[in-house]
Amino acid sequence: MGKSWLKHLAPEEWAVYGHELFKKLQRKQLPNRYIHSLSRRDGTQRILSCNTFVLQENKGDMTGLLCVAQDITGIEGAKRELRRLIYTDYLTGLYNTRYLYKKIEEETEKSERCKDPFSLLYVDIDNFKHHNDVHGHQAGDQLLQKFSEILNSQLREKDWAFRYGGEEFIVLLPQTGEEKAWEVAVGLRKNVEQQLSLDYGITVSIGVAQYRPGKDVIEQADQAMYRAKREEKNRVCVFSEK
């Protein structure tokens, strides 16, 4: 940067940063290059790309440490925005199918490695086409946004919500078996009914499926959802091979 960046650090930040550097030096674990986030005296966060060099005497004893840092806050911010655009549905703000497949791949690998269950909810908004035909596409978009807000409010911290297409949504529930997933789905169905049924005439049908090795969990949750549709809608059905 051409300037000393240490003087811009908040005192408490410098104390923590210096302590971490010292510990890594003692363990000989200090990387030559790393990314670090720090707080400035004015309270702003900066992201630095740091290159470190250990200064030594001829005998090999360390005499000091040189750290050259480049402020890459703007670059990292642009990367985050690009990731947001790539993985987010523009209308609802939920994650899109591209990110859904990525997360399912991660959860599948984790499940098969650690024997950790995960489940999916396949959610379809009942009578959405009729609502669109009667009230128009703009009203339909507003309804999708309203539903997405309700969906997000029902998620646990570890859950993920995706717009799968049109009026179809998928919720990924890590570390969750079939029984608990059913409870989450029932809570979501009731909440949607309470908030959207009276004013919009809208309910949801939800299919639940727990991942099983070698099986397509999306397809199974989809089958369960269509069974809920056939059984009067506004229902939750769990996938069964029977």
The predicted model scores a pTM of 0.70
Average pLDDT over residues 17-44: 66
| Closest-CA residue to 126 (of 225, 199, 195) | 225
**239: pLDDT strictly greater than 90:** yes
Greater confidence, 71 or 144? 144
- Average confidence (pLDDT) over 29-45: 68
CA distance 172 to 157: 12
Residue with tokens 């497949």: 101
Residue 69 has pLDDT above 90, yes or no: no
Rounded CA separation 138/213 (Å): 41
Residue 49: beta bridge partners?
Answer: 35, 70
pLDDT higher than 90, residue 43: no
Burial class of residue 214, CB neighbours in 10 A (0-12, 13-18, 19+): exposed
Q: What would the pLDDT profile of 171-204 be if each residue is shown by its tens digit? A: 999 999 999 999 999 999 999 999 998 888 899 9
Rg (CA), the chain: 25
For residues 75 and 117, the model is more confident at 117
Instruction: From the candidates 13, 76, 167, 178, give the one annotated as an active-site residue.
Output: 167
- Report how far residue 225's alpha carbon sits from residue 218's, in angstroms, rounded to the nearest whole number: 10
Residue closest to 210 by CA, chosen among 176, 241, 237, 162: 176
**Taking a C-beta distance cutoff of 8 angstroms, is the pair 218, 122 a contact?**
yes
123 and 188 in contact (C-beta within 8 Å)? Answer: yes
Residue 71 binned pLDDT confidence (cut-offs 50, 70, 90): confident
pLDDT grade for 2, boundaries at 50, 70 and 90: very low
Per the model's pLDDT, the better-predicted residue between 1 and 165 turns out to be 165
Is the pLDDT reported for residue 211 higher than 50? yes
What's the pLDDT at 44? 74
Residues 6+ apart with CB under 8 A from 196: 143, 146, 147, 150, 202, 203
**127 or 23: which leads in pLDDT:** 127
DSSP H stretches of helix in 27-159: 73-87, 97-114, 128-135, 137-154
Domains and CATH numbers, the chain: 6-77 (3.30.450.20), 88-238 (3.30.70.270)
167 belongs to the catalytic site: yes
The terminus-to-terminus CA distance of the chain in angstroms comes to: 66
Would you say residue 170 has pLDDT above 80? yes
Q: What confidence category does residue 98 fall into, taking pLDDT thresholds of 50, 70 and 90?
A: very high
Helix (H, G, I), strand (E, B) or coil at 136: coil
Of 35-39, 151-155, 180-184, which has the strongest mean pLDDT?
180-184
Please determine, for residue 114, whether its predicted confidence score (pLDDT) is greater than 80: yes
What single-letter amino acid sits at 10?
A: A
Residue 45 has a pLDDT of 75
